[in-house]
């Protein structure tokens, strides 16, 4: 009997423990009931012209597959033999209502190039929508439907979001409308390749094609982000999804609503991350800031006196911890406004005043230049680099006054990221830049490589400039 009572007590205790754990788990039902109606399904149609006498597009009718192609291959349709003269390219996405009179936020890639945008509400009503404006740099778009008294999503403050906090996504993955998924915030301020203006919120919420443009809610039922991208090797969710902070999205929305486009500040510089080796080369105490690799002639930075080799530590009083911070700071600054830039130059900091420029609507076309050939190949130097002095024609084509062209990189004991076609413009010697003008001069600079173990070079690669640290053969 005693043994039976002990077993009963243990079982009862375990049951209480399970109930206590259940009480601690989040309950999303109230959030979904109150905010679910603010989420909409978006389908778009784009007429694509192809070749005559062809086979149908292989994904025609597969909305989810086409949305995936549309996201990762914008504006590109596979060049298949026998493509029909004209067919409909359909795409699926999500969005959420931000005003009772029919303004809806979604992703720019959801509506990009669409000839028709159709919005479906949770009460099954459907409306044709007008695209008021879209911003590809942040992937935010504002559309409008002709309706009134619509339920409006509550907006939160993404700056107060904490890593580890529960979040909920509602959208239409693979066309399954009003699907609810949940997870936690994995990281904040995440930088992604080619996405300089968005400090993404990373989550492990299940996001799939069709979720794009849908809201990310906190536990208060407030929208704190717009689901935009996933990292996937399979095309489906792998627990790595990224959302645009709602604060940034609403700033974009305000401009899109007012004038249909977004105006951003611009300095006119090329920057790169400050590594440990680069910080040592410039006598900077620790890796921080944004290293200026190029300055566009006549730009706001050029007029302010910012130079190649400067490290921008602060912009308008805000510290630049990483190079990715600077484009966001400058981009959010109103063009024409004045700001103070703190730079690190030749071992000390100084402040410069700048009048912020504006990013043009379209980027200029890239410039290419022919490097030419050599009838007699010079021998490689101690780094295994075959160098040549550019001709006057090459200097004009490249837009440079001096430098050495890397014709070939041969095997050597040195560790280098230099490639054939690079142009070495200058070297950092004791914190100062020294222009490189001849192979002999460059070989003299290399004499100190055995002692210092490394040297930093300013290199022109294509249309961009970058700093590269080279290490001697003895520095393993």
SS (H, E, C) the chain: CHHHHHHHHHHHHHHHHHHHHHHHCCCCHHHHHHHHHHEEEEEEEEEEECCCCCCCCCCCCCHHHHHHHHHHCCCCCCCCCCCCCEEEEEEEEEEEECCCCCEEEECHHHHCCCCEEEEECCCCCEEEEEEEEEECCCCEEEEECCCCCCCCCCECCHHHCCCCCEEEEEECHHHCCCEEEEEEEEEEEEEECCEEEEEEEEECCCCCCCCCCCEEECCCCCEEEEEEEECCCCCCCCCCEEEEEHHHHHHHHHHHHHHCCCCCEECCEEEEECCHHHHHHCCCCCCCCEEEEEECCCCHHHHHCCCCCCEEEEECCEECCCCCHHHHHHHCCCCCCEEEEEEEECCEEEEEEEECEECCCCCCCCCCCCCCCCCCCCCCCCCCEEEECCCHHHHHHHCCCCCEEEEEECCCCCECCCCCCCEEEEEEECCEEEECCCHHHHHHHHCCHHHHCEEEEEEEECCEEEEEEEECCCCC
Mean predicted lDDT score pLDDT of the chain: 82
Tell me which of 134, 186, 212, 426 is the catalytic residue: 212
Task: Tell me the pLDDT tens digit for each residue of 227-273.
Answer: 998 887 666 778 899 999 999 999 999 999 998 889 999 999 989 88
Global model pTM greater than 0.85: no
Reported confidence tier of residue 337, pLDDT bands at 50, 70, 90:
very high
Question: Catalytic: which of 103, 109, 135, 237?
Answer: 109
Question: Checking phi first, is residue 346 left (phi over 0); if not, alpha (psi -120 to 50) or beta?
Answer: left
* Phi, psi of 433, rounded to the nearest 5 degrees: -90, 135
Catalytic residue among 139, 310, 325, 407: 139
Distance of CA 130 to the CA centre of its chain: 27
Q: Which of 84-88, 213-217, 295-299, 402-406: highest mean pLDDT?
A: 213-217
Instruction: Find the mean pLDDT for residues 435-464.
Output: 77
% the chain with pLDDT above 90: 47
Active site residue 109: yes
Enter the tokens of residue 370: 């022919």
More confident residue, 460 or 413: 460
Does residue 137 register a pLDDT over 80?
A: yes
Tens of pLDDT, residues 154-197: 999 999 999 999 999 999 998 899 999 999 999 998 888 667 78
Residue-wise pLDDT for 403-441, tens only, equals: 888 887 776 545 567 888 888 888 887 777 888 888 878
- Within 10 angstroms of residue 402's Cβ, the number of other Cβ atoms is 15
- The whole-angstrom separation of Cα 144 and Cα 253 is 12
Assess whether pLDDT exceeds 50 at residue 474: no
The reported pLDDT for the residue numbered 191 is 83
Structure confidence at residue 143 (pLDDT): 97
> For residue 367, is pLDDT > 50?
no
pLDDT value of residue 172 = 93
Between these two residues, 310 and 78, which has the higher pLDDT value? 310
**Res 241: pLDDT:** 93
pLDDT for 13: 59
pLDDT confidence bin for 324, thresholds 50/70/90: confident
Q: Output the pLDDT for position 40.
A: 96
Range 216-229 average pLDDT: 96
Give pLDDT tens digits for 69-125.
555 544 445 544 444 556 566 778 999 999 999 999 999 999 998 899 999 999 999
Cα–Cα distances in angstroms (integers) from residue 187 to residues 103, 119, 240, 328, in the given order: 30, 32, 10, 18
- Identify the pLDDT of residue 15: 57
Beta bridge partners of 311: 291, 344
Residue 365 pLDDT: 33
pLDDT band at 54, cuts 50/70/90?
Answer: very low
What pLDDT score does 129 carry? 95
Is residue 55 annotated as a catalytic residue, yes or no?
A: no
Q: What is the mean pLDDT of residues 323-340?
A: 91
Q: What is the mean pLDDT of residues 313-338?
A: 92
Which segment of 197-211, 345-359, 364-378 scores lowest on mean pLDDT?
364-378
Residue 203 structure tokens: 């989550």
Higher pLDDT, 60 or 361: 361
Token representation of residue 119: 């919005």
* Long-range contacts of the stretch 394-397 (C-beta < 8 A, 24+): 394/369, 394/370, 397/367, 397/369, 397/370
Pick the more confident residue, 66 or 425: 425
At residue 363, the pLDDT reads 39
């Amino acid at each position: 009997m005693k043994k039976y009572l002990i077993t009963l007590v243990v079982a009862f205790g375990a049951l209480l423990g399970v109930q206590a754990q259940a009480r601690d788990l989040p309950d999303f039902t109230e959030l979904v009931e109150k905010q679910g109606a603010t989420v909409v399904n978006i389908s778009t149609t784009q007429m694509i012209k192809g070749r005559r006498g062809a086979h149908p597009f292989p994904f025609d009718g597969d909305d989810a597959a086409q949305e995936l192609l549309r996201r990762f291959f914008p504006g590109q349709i596979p060049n298949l033999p026998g493509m029909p003269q004209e067919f409909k390219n359909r795409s699926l996405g999500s969005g959420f209502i931000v005003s009772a009179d029919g303004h809806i936020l979604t992703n720019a890639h959801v509506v990009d190039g669409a000839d028709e945008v159709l919005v479906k509400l949770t009460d099954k009503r459907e409306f044709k929508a007008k695209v008021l404006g879209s911003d590809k740099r942040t992937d935010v778009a504002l559309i409008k439907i002709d309706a009134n008294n619509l339920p409006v999503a509550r907006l939160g403050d993404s700056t107060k979001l904490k890593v580890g906090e529960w979040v909920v996504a509602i959208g239409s993955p693979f066309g399954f409308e009003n699907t609810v998924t949940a997870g936690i915030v994995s990281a904040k301020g995440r930088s992604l390749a080619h996405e300089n203006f968005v400090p993404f919120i990373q989550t492990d919420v299940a996001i799939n094609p069709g979720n794009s443009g849908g809201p990310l809610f906190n536990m208060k039922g407030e929208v704190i982000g717009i689901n935009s991208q996933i990292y996937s090797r399979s095309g489906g969710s792998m627990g790595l999804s990224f959302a645009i902070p709602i604060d940034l999205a609403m700033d974009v929305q305000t401009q899109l609503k007012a004038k249909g486009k977004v105006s951003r500040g611009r300095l006119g510089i090329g920057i790169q991350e400050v590594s440990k080796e680069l910080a040592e080369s410039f006598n900077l105490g620790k890796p921080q800031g944004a290293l200026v690799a190029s300055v566009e002639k006549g730009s706001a930075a050029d007029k302010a006196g910012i130079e190649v080799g400067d490290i921008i530590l602060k912009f308008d009083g805000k510290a630049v911890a990483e190079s990715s911070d600077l484009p966001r700071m400058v981009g959010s600054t109103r063009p024409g406004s004045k700001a103070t830039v703190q730079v690190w130059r030749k071992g000390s900091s100084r402040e410069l005043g700048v009048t912020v420029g504006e990013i043009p609507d379209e980027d200029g076309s890239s410039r290419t230049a022919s490097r030419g050939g050599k009838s007699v190949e010079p021998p490689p130097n101690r780094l295994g680099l075959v160098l040549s002095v550019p001709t006057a024609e090459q200097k004009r084509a490249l837009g440079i006054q001096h430098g050495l062209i890397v014709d070939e990189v041969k095997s050597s004991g040195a560790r280098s990221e230099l490639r054939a076609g690079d142009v070495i413009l200058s070297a950092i010697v004791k914190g100062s830049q020294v222009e490189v003008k001849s192979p002999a001069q460059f070989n003299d600079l290399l004499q100190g490589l055995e002692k210092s173990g490394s040297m930093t070079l300013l290199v022109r690669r294509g249309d961009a400039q970058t700093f590269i640290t080279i290490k001697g053969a003895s520095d393993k």
